[in-house]
Structure 1
Amino acid sequence: MNTRPQDDGVRPVSNRIVEAEVETDVETDVEVDAEGDEPDGERPVAPANPDGFRLGGEPPRVMRLSRKALATLGLLASVGIGGALIYALQPQNHLPAENLYDTNSRNRADSVNGAPANYGDVPKLGPALPGDLGGPIVAAQRGGQNVPIPPIGAAPAAGQPDPRIAAAEQARERAAQERDSARTSRLFLAGETGTTDSRSATAVGPAPSASIPGADPALPSAPTATSSRRAFLDQRGNRSTESPERIMRLASPYVVQAGSVIPAALITGIRSDLPGQITAQVTQNVYDSPTGRILLIPQGSRLIGEYDSEVAAGQNRVLLAWDRLILPGGQSILLDRLPGADAAGMAGLEDQTNYHWGNMLKAALISTLLGAGTELISNGDSDLIRALRFGTQDTISQTGRQVVQRQLNVPPTLTVRPGFSLRIIVTRDLVLEPMPAGGTR
């Protein structure tokens, strides 16, 4: 049996909410119609003011340059630069410079002032005079004596020599003496010694410097570049077309001939501040020169030598010389100072170079500070204080210059580290003995 719920006046909550909304809409429509604004249509909603919803401030405004202004400025700058270039490249009409030195009033030599002004004023020459007698005849005529002029080409008197022949003989003798003096001069024999010096000293006599006042006769004249070149050109070459030397037989089959290279490496380092000895070790086997199969210098042999500590300014290579070779069995041979070279065959070794720039800069800084300190002189100082300061300034300046000069005279320090690869150039044949074990390859 179906039972319907009785309507006791209680409605659901959702129904009541819908009815309330409908009533509110009806009341709103009635109020709008009562006011008479827009009873038939909908009222437009005004836009909300965005200032109330803004969270931050206004962004900064960006100032932009005008393209027209930039183009105008660029055009004006280009025109100005172009005009300046055109003006600078145009040739300028320079006025002739005024001569500050008057050449017309310059001093002239007395010989020029006393000379004739033109060819018309040149004195006429008289008759020709003989060469040797011309001077005495003219002197006698100026003294008022009447000396007859002998005709040129006339035969001399009996028993008198012909003056022309005598003059020619004197000229030949003079030329021969000049040649002998030039041949025996010390200027061209500066490099020769022994009998040549004694012969030249006997022929020429005392040295030229002995006749010069103030010269020291004990010091020889320094050779110049011109004299050395002239001496080289005056040297006489060998006129023989055949060499006197002949083929020499091989001294021994166990020989390392000249021109061979012994590779080695340094055991001790090199520093050019002081002279010293060096040792090296052969790094590769060296075989005989005729066949190249017999082992003569095995790997591990020791080399004894020395290096040159005399280093010039700007030098960066150390000169080596090897004196002795010690084989593994205890045998040794003198090497007669064989030269050392690097791996490329260039003389000497180059590794590290210290030019002492730090010490030089320190010396220059000290000299500058000393000189600047002495320059601070007050105008109110007395004459005595000024004199003392000037004297101190000269002394300190001279001391600073000496300090800098001493550092400039310090030669660079050359350093070659141990293990540096090198080569020994054989300049004379080395006769050795084959190694007993593993002596051939």
Structure 2
Amino acid sequence: MGYFSIEAEQAVLGAILKSPDLIYETALQPEKFYHAGHRIIFEQMILLRDAEKKIDFVSLVASLGDQMQELGGTSYLLQLSQSVPTVANFTEHERIVNSKYLMRTGMESLGEVYGAGLDNPAEFAAELMDIAEKIGDESRIKEGFVHIRDGLENHFNQLQEKKYSDKPIGFSTAGTALDRITGKWQRQTLNIIAARPSVGKTAFMLNNARKNASEGMAVAMFSLEQPESQLYDRMVAAECLIEGERIRTGQLRDEEWAKYVTAFTKMVELNLYIDDTPGLSIQEIRSAVRKLKKKHPDLIVFLDYLQLVRGGKKFDNRNMEVGYVSTSLKQMARENDIPVVALAQLSRGVEQRQDKRPMMSDLRESGNIEQDADTITFLYRDDYYDKETEKKNIIECIVAKNRNGGVGTAEMINMKQYGKFADLDISHHELKDRRQGA
């Protein structure tokens, strides 16, 4: 099949000559016509429309002027007007013209990428993905208006399904108070967890991942900062309530070994996947997620951390690259119908203020993060800055942005020695019993 259809182009132009009001309904532009003469004719039709003049044989001949002879004279216009017996298939002919245009531009873009002589596979993949996304976006059929009756019937069915379904609505966060504020993490959302280094972002992520997996979800973790073995140390410590240092050195007491074996038998059954490849590009991450989603429909993705992901191609500055990654993560959430939770570093600006609770402006390197995110939660520990604070071992989860709900602060217990987070209303007796294996 060729990358143009002269017949479809003729049918579009002929239909407009037969029924001039179609010029107000079409979304085509002159450059989408392959035949040079057809581009000129359609361009003149657009000019007549914008000048609020009727499009007919006489006005079009006058508008074309001297160009008329180059196009084959008035006989060609007559041929066009007679080329379609009915305008009933106008939409289909319009679709063909648009599809052929997308194929031509796609092949031209591929030729440019080939001609650029790229020798980096990741950069090459990034360029190909950009081309594919652009063609996909432009070829997507636009549904247009939806009558409220149809929309509300669909809404009713969804609401009924939520009411009577056994499946949980949304993916749980680390704590019930945080769940109440955020409404949990929903599908097709990008959720940012941001803090300064050493506040507890990774531990918070691991607590979340473990909770989601225990609730029957599949979890994918991309750890660009820490190796897989360190994540296992931290997850086991939090699960068993054994001090992290004892896990790292292997110096476990007999009762701790028993707790470890019990946790081991539970954790190996979880659908939890870790990729600790350093320097991953966003294209590699999207490809891996797409494959895993085919195996596990109920999937949530965690990323540690956003600013370490490579854009996979050249950018004018660092802000543009981080913005590209942020937008790509949002697209990944939408196209796979999953929640994506990405950790993010905050700038040093936090340290310069008297109140060191983070703000939106502290997000490092790109305003796109704030724009793309559906929720943004900052982690803050007062004992990180003030050793004498009354809020020892308390972490504040500050929900600063929530596109589909409220904002506020949820407090949780932060047991740093275990890398464990717990709801604030858990009693000290309960925690003591857990540590002792009761």
TM-score bracket for this pair, using the shorter chain length: under 0.3
TM-score by length of 1: 0.21
TM-score by length of 2: 0.21
Q: Which has the higher helix share?
A: 2
